């Protein structure tokens, strides 16, 4: 038996740790907890940290390094070890954490339960360091896959997540708690990390944030949208430096206890009740796709060049 409490942090490989730390703080409202040439730890709110930045020497390997998940109070690290052994999934034991790789090689760390230093909600706490515009938390990650059944089986049987919704064979959303998803998979015939997502409270905060991103030279690869699946209102900021998107969202659906997965039709309304599906560049991270998206070429009728 394994039970995840929550997503704890994401670690990204970056070309320059100090520069990336400055970017994520200025642009997304994160706060530096610790920074050195070897590592930066950035927080959304009062938590220890949600984003870890590590140096990446190989330019072709920048971006996702691992995602860390905290175990529930009732699930010890030893219980997690016993579970992985029982389901015969290989893991690396680092004493104070467990490392597993999913079916397409994406690393996940399992951390023991850690009591919050102060259990009051953020609005009832005091700070001398957090900025006015900031996310309240890291909410989920999403990756592209070439093998949806195998990936879904890993996240359910090995990590103990529950399926919130299916979009036929094209998408699976998984949850560890009441929010609609903490993990999502999209089948596009190849594996790539797609996005990490920060929760920004409400639509007004997103307006300030997207204006800020635009003034820092960012654009939204898709959005603002209202997802049918997940209910979140969001925009996806293209990060060219790390090859990924940062989703900035609000108003995620809260699932009832014992939620039963729904199967959604693969139509425009499931993806965006407000309007269009994403440009095809949204699923790609190569230079041609980024350039096309930057200049809005697909919307102007110029098709995306094929991906080789």
Minimum distance from residue 280 beta carbon to Fe ion (Å): 18
CB nearer Fe ion, residue 56 or residue 171: 171
CB nearer Fe ion, residue 65 or residue 247: 247
In eight-state DSSP terms, residue 252 is P
Helix (H) or strand (E) holding 212, with range, is helix 203-215
C-alpha neighbours within 13 Å on the C-beta side of residue 265 = 4
Minimum distance from residue 150 beta carbon to Fe ion (Å): 21
Q: Which stretch binds Fe ion (CB under 5 A): 28-36, 101-109, 241-249, 278-286?
A: 241-249
Residue 270 binds Fe ion (CB under 5 A): no
Number of amino acids touching Fe ion (CB under 5 A):
3
How many CB atoms neighbour CB 225 within 10 A? 21
d(Cα 143, Cα 306) in Å, to the nearest integer?
Answer: 21
Whether the CB-CB separation of 171 and 143 falls below 8 Å is answered with no
Whether the CB-CB separation of 43 and 25 falls below 8 Å is answered with no
Residue 197 binds Fe ion (CB under 5 A): yes
Of 31, 70, 142, 270, the one binding Fe ion by CB under 5 A: 142
Q: Which stretch binds Fe ion (CB under 5 A): 20-28, 202-210, 211-219, 246-254?
A: 246-254
Residue with tokens 């579970």: 83
CB nearer Fe ion, residue 29 or residue 235: 235
Of 247, 251, 253, 293, the one binding Fe ion by CB under 5 A: 247
Minimum distance from residue 68 beta carbon to Fe ion (Å): 18
Residue 244 binds Fe ion (CB under 5 A): no
Whether the CB-CB separation of 14 and 56 falls below 8 Å is answered with yes
Residue 237 binds Fe ion (CB under 5 A): no
Residue with tokens 């997503």: 7
H helices, E strands: number in the chain: 6, 17
Binding site for Fe ion (CB under 5 A): 142, 197, 247
């Amino acid at each position: 038996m394994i039970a995840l409490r929550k997503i704890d942090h994401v670690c990204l490989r970056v070309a320059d740790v100090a520069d990336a730390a400055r970017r994520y703080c200025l642009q997304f409202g994160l706060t530096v907890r610790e920074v050195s040439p070897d590592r930066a730890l950035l927080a959304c709110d009062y938590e220890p940290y949600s984003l870890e930045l590590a140096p990446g020497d190989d330019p072709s390997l920048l971006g996702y390094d691992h995602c860390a998940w905290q175990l529930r109070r009732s699930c010890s690290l030893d219980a997690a070890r016993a579970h992985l052994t029982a389901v015969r999934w290989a893991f690396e034991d680092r004493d104070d954490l467990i490392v597993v790789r999913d079916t397409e090689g994406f690393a996940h760390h399992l951390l023991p339960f850690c009591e919050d230093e102060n259990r009051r909600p953020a609005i009832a706490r005091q700070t001398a360091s957090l900025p006015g515009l900031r996310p309240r938390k890291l909410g989920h990650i999403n990756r592209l896959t070439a093998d949806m059944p195998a990936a879904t089986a890993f996240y359910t049987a090995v990590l103990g997540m529950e399926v919130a919704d299916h979009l036929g064979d094209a998408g699976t959303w998984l949850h560890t708690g009441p929010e609609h998803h903490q993990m999502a998979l999209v089948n596009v015939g190849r594996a790539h990390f797609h996005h990490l997502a920060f929760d920004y409270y409400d639509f007004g905060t997103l307006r300030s944030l997207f204006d800020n991103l635009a003034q820092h030279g960012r654009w939204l690869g898709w959005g603002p949208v209202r997802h049918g699946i997940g209910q979140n209102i969001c925009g996806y900021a293209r990060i060219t430096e790390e090859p990924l998107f940062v989703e900035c969202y609000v108003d995620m659906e809260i699932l009832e206890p014992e939620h039963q997965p729904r199967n959604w039709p693969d139509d425009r309304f499931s993806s965006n009740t407000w309007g269009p599906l994403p440009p095809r560049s949204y699923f790609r991270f190569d230079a041609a796709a980024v350039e096309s998206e930057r200049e809005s070429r697909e919307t102007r009728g110029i098709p995306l060049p094929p991906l080789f």
